[in-house]
A and B are shown apart, each in its own frame.
Chain A
């Protein structure tokens, strides 16, 4: 009888054991959201916001010991909400990215966005995107950079000269493809080989 009682215990152990560290791949989301509140009687505005290392690391949703391969920009969305007294029906937006004290690199130019709407920017400047993602990657490197990125947003109202009083939300969605070694039963799942330490 004692030997028979071992059967369920052995069955359970066969499921619980056989775990080994295996390599799996993930894609983390890195959403960077910035808000601007222009209130300009003449309709022309400019404003800046910073992206710091902490802005990126605080929102990264990956396993703790994940190794990030390379961060890429997936899309940039702009939402314009009219506030009290706004007369503009549209705003033409331009944006640049500056790494530290470097030269501003254009991200997008004169992109029309209607008030009370959300748009995904269809085409951004490739050099600007590369500069942006390069510094985001530097924030996540083993020896991370702390040089912030300055995003400068400027625009003019349509009709020209109409009062611009809106809330502009700029949301840049980055993807962080990564890999991590996770202990998992090998008879259930076949991950890759973990790098030898």
Chain B
């Protein structure tokens, strides 16, 4: 079991090692903008990040009344980026004549755009990264049960280096079986769960997410079909330097603002395989920004 846990955590860390590089590149893209346009440019990242963090937190609604159960696994959460996430209306700042234009977001086309002004001036809007999907990966442990309640933990901490700082993920969730009070529903499991997570990459990414969900599932042999309705929220704190500090350009103030994720409610449909010692599952989460969850768990 220790070996299983070690390999699972290593997998999560390996996949997430790319995140600090992405975070550093994001600063290069967004630094052209102040808060006025920075919010519109970065909003799709907040939407996708929050949607992903609230995915893959459960794979069935079954929670035993009593008994020791431990599942250690890895969850992948992927947001599918649609056309609506790829442009926003930006406004020129300190520019004559004042103008606005539909331009790429961080997920939009990888091409700069511009507007001509008076007297030879030009206002440039940065391109994006032409992102098709945003995947995240997290190690996850579920342990239970006491009185039909189990606990889910997501955690890892990894020091990438002086340039990037640490990656830190911590999430916890508690889930309680409702169907244990309904003996007339022998084949259907129903549970309610509350989940809270935070995810940080150095000083560039700082995200939090919360999900309250009503979960249901039906099992048949090794197959399980599950679904749920959830109310969710997420926040992404953004901080970046718009200019480089130098002897001539001192005391550059960082631009800071918070973005709320667009997803407020989600519907989950999924299926899983409960093999001896191994659980596999896949689900689709329907919301303003939809996500796909895939996961594998090992344990009792």
Using a CB–CB distance below 8 Å, which chain A residues touch chain B? 1, 4-5, 7-9, 11-13, 15-16, 19, 22-29, 31-33, 55, 58-63, 72-75, 77, 120, 122-126, 129-130, 133, 173, 175, 177, 182, 184-185, 187-192
Contacts and interface: CB of A to CB of B under 8 A. Distances in A.
A74 B29 CA distance: 18
Contacts of B95: 74-75, 120
A59 B244 contact: yes
Nearest to B109: A25
Given A12-B14, A29-B242, A24 B110 contact: yes
24 contacts: A5-B7, A8-B73, A9-B10, A24-B127, A26-B29, A27-B32, A28-B31, A29-B242, A33-B248, A33-B249, A59-B244, A72-B122, A72-B124, A74-B95, A74-B123, A123-B96, A124-B120, A124-B121, A126-B120, A175-B32, A175-B122, A175-B123, A189-B131, A190-B130
Contacts, number: 171
Interface string B17-39: 11000100100110110000000
Of B8, B22, B120, B132, most A-chain CB atoms within 10 Å: B120
B126 to A, nearest CB: 4
Given A15-B137, A75-B96, A130-B120, A27 B125 contact: yes
A167 B242 CA distance: 25
A61 B15 contact: no
B132 to A, nearest CB: 6
Interface stretch (B111-119, B203-211, B230-238): B111-119
B76 interface: yes
Nearest to B121: A73
Given A5-B4, A26-B28, A73-B120, A11 B112 contact: no
Given A26-B28, A58-B244, A122 B96 contact: yes
B246 interface: yes
B135 A15 contact: yes
Contacts of B123: 74, 175
Contact of A129 (B120, B241, B242): B120
A120 B96 CA distance: 9
A177 B114 CA distance: 10
Nearest to B120: A129
Contacts of A28: 31-32
A191 B104 CA distance: 13
A190 B128 CA distance: 10
A23 B127 CA distance: 11
B121 A190 contact: no
B137 A12 contact: yes
B74 A8 contact: yes
B173 interface: no
Contacts of A122: 96, 118
A16 B94 contact: no
Given A126-B120, A175-B32, A175-B123, A12 B296 contact: no
A16 B120 contact: no
Given A29-B32, A73-B122, A74-B124, A9 B11 contact: yes
Interface string B240-261: 0111101111000000000000
B298 interface: yes
A155 to B, nearest CB: 19
A184 B131 CA distance: 11
Contacts of A173: 94
Nearest to A25: B127
B129 interface: yes
A125 B118 CA distance: 9
A25 B244 CA distance: 18
Given A4-B278, A16-B14, A190-B132, 13 more contacts: A11-B76, A15-B14, A22-B110, A24-B25, A25-B110, A25-B127, A26-B126, A31-B243, A120-B94, A123-B119, A126-B120, A182-B25, A188-B135
Of B15, B17, B29, B277, most A-chain CB atoms within 10 Å: B15
Contacts of B32: 26-29, 175
A75 B121 contact: yes
B11 A11 contact: yes
A25 B103 CA distance: 13
A32 to B, nearest CB: 8
Interface in B128-144: 129-135, 137
